Amino acid sequence: MDIANFEEMKRYVGFGADDARALKGLLPAVTPRMDDIVDEFYKVAARHPAAIATFTGGAEQIARQREALRKWVATLFTGEYGAEYFDSRCRIGRAHVRVGLAQHYMITATEVIRAGLVDAIRRADVPDADSKIQSLHKLLALELGVMLESYKASYSKRVQEREREAVERKLTRAEHLAGIGQLAASLAHEIKNPLAGISGAIQIIREGLGADHPHSSVLAEVMGQISRLDAVVKDLLVYARPSDPRFESCNVDVTVRRILTVLREEPTVQGVPIDYVNTDTMPKIQADEAKIEQLVMNLVLNAAQACVGGGAVTVTTAFDDDKVSLAVRDSGHGLDDTIRARAFEPFFTSKAKGTGLGLSICQSIVEAHKGSITLESEVGRGTRAVVDLPRRQSASS
Ligand code: HEM
Ligand SMILES: Nc1ncnc2c1ncn2[C@@H]1O[C@H](COP(=O)(O)OP(=O)(O)OP(=O)(O)O)[C@@H](O)[C@H]1O
Ligand SMILES: [Mg+2]
């Protein structure tokens, strides 16, 4: 936005020399009420936590903004609504983007100030008050227009930066995946076959020993460890070579029920209650059922593992016009922001026996379905993983 736009706006609201003259005489009427107007501005702002939270600089910053606001009010009436005026108004928009103030507060705050100014003018008994107030309304419309426009300009610059950052993050992730994928595939391949051999050999020894032999429990433990390794290798392979999803008509509700039946028998989960809250009218979606199973399984396992020291898991499914949602909530130990920031990274784990692939596989699955996954948590209170899957896959994929 430039000064030409400002002139155009002035013509639009019919703001001219008469208005400038009318406003010039109003400052003496407003000055005695200046403190009240500024106080009211903060009183209203204080009732809105998201607005007042922009004052991260505490009392000092509030004092600075109070002063800026008084000056702003005063300069409404000093005339010369030209280039200098326009520049000073553009600066305000940019200052608010800098502090991250939501744009709609500009409009509401202007209304608060407008009410204060009109009230001050009426009380002061100025001659011809009505037409002067009309001039003020025009000026406030211009003020708002300029503030919001310049706000938007620098806001969109910031949004563009954010978007570029997101794309860069995605690229890094993709490169990371490609590198890890190759390594994982060859490693998994090298491990899988010997592992099958070891497992077969142990079975034979075990059968030869008989169930009551003192070493047979040791061998059972060895078998347990082997299946763990096998699961890790399978995970790796899934991660390294994620097969394209095979979309079929799938009822997420049915999938969740089936998985929960299996999981409740899982030794690591036993003792952790798992509730399922659902609607029985769940619509079918186009999805890869095997992948959805794996998604649910990984999320529920994470939730249950977080509850080992006490807690419970609730799985919820729901839907609306656009999407089917799955939420896995637990009242376990939770995770802090540092862990949350890394939880979706492949191989990131805080568990002694974790591979750290669970959530990154979940993310790949969700991406393949063009959905979204988020993790919210409060340390000591629990965690909620939410997956949204679109009800219709877009034609382009
Ligand atoms: C009509 C509405 C508003 C006007 C006219 C206004 C005016 C101003 C002005 C003149 C500045 C100084 C800009 C500069 O650095 O040059 C400023 C900064 C600021 N404003 Fe506003 N403001 C408005 C609404 C709000 C609201 C609703 C909030 C939040 C409750 C807010 C919070 C801030 C903050 C945090 C700063 C930065 C202060 C600093 O660090 O220097 N403003 N505003
Ligand atoms: N529900 C949860 N509660 C607390 N922490 C969680 C939860 N879900 C995930 N996390 C954290 O995120 C990390 C990564 O999870 P992810 O599922 O990717 O790997 P993992 O569970 O450690 O290992 P794997 O799933 O491969 O066995 C976990 O180690 C844990 O720190
Ligand atoms: Mg996991």
Give the position of tokens 């969740």.
256
- Classify residue 396: in a domain, yes or no: no
Both 226 and 152 in one domain: the answer is no
**Where residue 161 falls among pLDDT bands split at 50, 70, 90?**
confident
The first and second tokens of residue 214, run together, are 């003192």
Q: Quickly count: other Cβ atoms within 10 Å of residue 252's Cβ.
A: 24
The ligand 1 atom at the shortest distance from the C-alpha of residue 52 is: 30
* Residue 146 clears pLDDT 60, i.e. is over it: yes
More confidently predicted of 224 and 166: 224
How far is the first Cα of the chain from the last one, in angstroms, to the nearest whole number?
A: 39
**Where residue 178 falls among pLDDT bands split at 50, 70, 90?**
low
**Residue range 267-276, pLDDT digits in tens:** 778 889 999 9
Both 375 and 304 in one domain: the answer is yes
Is 359 a pocket residue for ligand 2 (Cβ < 6 Å)? yes
Identify which ligand lies nearest to the alpha carbon of 112.
1
Nearest CA to ligand 1 atom 29: 51
The structure's pTM equals: 0.49
- Calculate how far, in angstroms, residue 95's C-alpha sits from the geometric centre of ligand 1: 7
**Where residue 153 falls among pLDDT bands split at 50, 70, 90?**
confident
Mutate to test the pocket of ligand 2, among 238, 340, 342, 359 (most ligand atoms within 8 A of CB): 359
* Residue 396 clears pLDDT 60, i.e. is over it: no
Both 108 and 25 in one domain: the answer is yes
Mutate to test the pocket of ligand 2, among 227, 274, 345, 349 (most ligand atoms within 8 A of CB): 349
Both 56 and 117 in one domain: the answer is yes
| Most confident residue range from 166-180, 223-237, 292-306 | 292-306
**Residue range 8-22, pLDDT digits in tens:** 999 999 999 999 999
Closest CA to 38 of 142, 135, 120: 120
Both 82 and 105 in one domain: the answer is yes
Is 390 a pocket residue for ligand 2 (Cβ < 6 Å)? no
Confirm if 347 and 180 have CB atoms less than 8 A apart.
yes
User: What integer pLDDT is reported at residue 77 of this predicted model?
Assistant: 94
The first and second tokens of residue 196, run together, are 């099958």
Is 101 a pocket residue for ligand 2 (Cβ < 6 Å)? no
Q: Which segment of 41-45, 140-144, 159-163, 364-368 scores lowest on mean pLDDT?
A: 159-163
d(CA 30, CA 78): 12
User: What integer pLDDT is reported at residue 197 of this predicted model?
Assistant: 84
Write down which residue in 240, 272, 296 finishes a domain: 240
Three-state DSSP state, 294: helix
- 336, exposed or middle or buried, with CB in 10 Å at 0-12, 13-18, 19+? exposed
d(CA 186, CA 189): 5
- Classify residue 232: in a domain, yes or no: yes
Q: Quickly count: other Cβ atoms within 10 Å of residue 264's Cβ.
A: 14
Both 289 and 186 in one domain: the answer is no
DSSP letter for each residue of 313-341: EEEEEEE-SSEEEEEEEE-S----HHHHH
Closest CA to 109 of 91, 94, 96: 96
Both 191 and 264 in one domain: the answer is no
Write down which residue in 223, 240, 257 finishes a domain: 240
* Residue 25 clears pLDDT 90, i.e. is over it: no
Percentage of residues in the chain with pLDDT exceeding 90? Answer: 53
**Where residue 174 falls among pLDDT bands split at 50, 70, 90?**
low
Going by DSSP bridges, is the β-strand pair 313-319/274-277 parallel, antiparallel, or unpaired?
parallel
- Classify residue 115: in a domain, yes or no: yes
**Where residue 246 falls among pLDDT bands split at 50, 70, 90?**
confident
Give the position of tokens 């802090």.
336
Both 90 and 171 in one domain: the answer is no
The first and second tokens of residue 363, run together, are 């993310």
Burial 346-363 (b: 16+ CB within 10 A, else e): bebbeeeeebbbbbbbbb
More confidently predicted of 311 and 183: 311
More confidently predicted of 37 and 161: 37
- Calculate how far, in angstroms, residue 389's C-alpha sits from the geometric centre of ligand 3: 20
In CATH, what number is assigned to the domain containing residue 185?
Answer: 1.10.287
DSSP H or E segment with residue 313: strand 313-319
- Classify residue 397: in a domain, yes or no: no
Confirm if 102 and 50 have CB atoms less than 8 A apart.
yes
**Residue range 94-118, pLDDT digits in tens:** 888 888 888 889 999 999 999 999 9
- Calculate how far, in angstroms, residue 301's C-alpha sits from the geometric centre of ligand 2: 9
Q: What is the mean pLDDT of residues 65-77?
A: 94
**How many folded domains does the chain comprise?**
3
Write down which residue in 164, 195, 216 finishes a domain: 164
- Classify residue 128: in a domain, yes or no: yes
d(CA 279, CA 3): 58
231 lies in which domain range? 166-240
The ligand 1 atom at the shortest distance from the C-alpha of residue 54 is: 35
In CATH, what number is assigned to the domain containing residue 123?
Answer: 1.10.490.10
How many residues does the structure list for the chain? Answer: 397
Both 366 and 384 in one domain: the answer is yes
Q: What is the mean pLDDT of residues 130-134?
A: 95
Mutate to test the pocket of ligand 1, among 87, 92, 98, 112 (most ligand atoms within 8 A of CB): 92
Both 127 and 189 in one domain: the answer is no
- Classify residue 205: in a domain, yes or no: yes
In CATH, what number is assigned to the domain containing residue 352?
Answer: 3.30.565.10
Both 23 and 142 in one domain: the answer is yes
User: What integer pLDDT is reported at residue 177 of this predicted model?
Assistant: 67
Cα Rg, the chain, nearest whole Å: 32
* Residue 395 clears pLDDT 60, i.e. is over it: no
- Classify residue 395: in a domain, yes or no: no
Closest CA to 33 of 114, 119, 109, 111: 119
Confirm if 274 and 256 have CB atoms less than 8 A apart.
no
Both 17 and 85 in one domain: the answer is yes
d(CA 316, CA 286): 19
**Where residue 238 falls among pLDDT bands split at 50, 70, 90?**
confident
d(CA 338, CA 336): 6
d(CA 175, CA 331): 35
